[in-house]
Amino acid sequence: MAMTFGVGYEVFVRYVLRDPTAWAFDLSYMMYGTMFMMAGAYTLSRDGHVRGDVFYRLWQPRTQAIVELILYFIFFYPAVLALIIAGWDFADQSFGYREVSVMSPANVPIFHFKMIIPAAGVLLFIQGLAQVARCILCIRENKWPEKIADVEETETMVLHQAKDHADVQSEIGHNGKGSVR
């Protein structure tokens, strides 16, 4: 929301009032960077990261899970731990000298946004634990556990609600009653 407001405000003042701001660019790249970093764990939970499916998709689920489990410990966890440790050092230095943006004359403070780096690493680490648990379950049962649906498009929700409402109205009409208890 902050990025949308900031960019929308900048477009308005730049093109309508002819008075651009010095801080809108800084806000947009900080917000976009935050959104990008924080989306990593969610994307991992939805299997949205790039995978070399040439051979992977031909394997049995148990084989897929074994390979994934091994790769989590060889590549994923060392990389995520490096992200957390290096990100923490990077953020700590930035806090130490109260870093400001050098991209614009506004000198917008950016040191607090550097904490997003280790925070995103911690979230990735936690989601990695969930993925490892999924791999273990798949190795046991030779099928991947079902994922819980957590996001539904607003239009789909409205259609479901309208259908449910119509079903209730239809039920009222069939029963000949004026109200449902």
pLDDT per position as a tens digit, 36-86: 998 999 889 888 878 777 888 899 999 999 999 999 999 999 999 999 999
Q: State pLDDT tens for residues 104-153.
A: 777 888 888 899 999 999 999 999 999 999 999 999 999 999 877 655 66
Residue 22 near residue 102, CB atoms below 8 Å: no
Residue in 41, 57, 17 with CA at minimum distance from that of residue 125: 41
Domain positions in the chain are: 2-150, 153-181
Pairwise CA distance, residues 81 & 84, whole Å: 5
Kindly indicate the confidence band of residue 175, based on its pLDDT and cuts at 50, 70 and 90.
low
Q: Which two tokens stand for residue 175?
A: 């029963």
What is residue 55's three-state secondary structure? Answer: helix
